Amino acid sequence: MSSELLTTSLSILIQGLVATLLLSAASIIGGTLIGLLAAVLRSFGPRGTRHIARLYTELFRGTPVLITLMFIYFGVSYFGYAIDVFAAGVVGLSVYQGAYIAEIFRSGIEAVPKGQWEVSQILGLSKTQAFFSVALPQTGKIVVPPLIGQYLSLIKDTSIVSMIGMSELMHAGQAIVDRVGKPVEIYGLVAVLYFIVCFPLSQWVRHHDRRRSLLS
């Protein structure tokens, strides 16, 4: 690969990387909020909402993310509304990843010792107060490593959003290959950029797990 082609390709790929990071950040926030809500409803909600939350998690964990993205992007258009590709990507990834994040939060909530809930009741705290002041802080410490792992999966899933036409990192790489060829070199650069983003997070998770195993 010539230095001129490398410079031009990197410039385009970095623009795609910025779009990927924005999409990832928005989807992480959306997926975390949806997942936390689903976990709370499934753990503490009335029977009806528990069934709805369970149906949601089972449905999206049992279907491919591409189906979710296609359904949102083309489904909205089918009903006569227009949706931006970026918005469709954020909604699709948030809803899909939220189902997995919900299970992470639910396992964290269930890992809080029952004695903590009993003490909260003795102190006169309501369920809501006990959740936010007692359970949620402990849950947060428990779920951070698996959450980061799920966020890594979300970042890699952003490549699938190129299937509905969003110009993120993978789409930018495909556009360069279509124009100049050299798929090995271009996709190699794409892989390196994904690695630069994901590797520090994966190393942090390993380091955190190693510290927890030493302290336990």
Length of the chain: 216
Q: Please tell me the total count of domains within the chain.
A: 1
| Contact yes or no for 112/42 (Cβ under 8 A) | no
User: What's the confidence (pLDDT) of residue 48?
Assistant: 86
Closest CA to 69 of 57, 48, 85: 85
Domain range holding 120? 3-215
pLDDT in tens, 135-180: 777 777 778 888 888 999 899 888 888 887 777 888 888 888 888 8
106: domain CATH number? 1.10.3720.10
pTM of structure:
0.84
User: What's the confidence (pLDDT) of residue 27?
Assistant: 95
The overall longest dimension of the chain from CA atoms, in Å, is 72
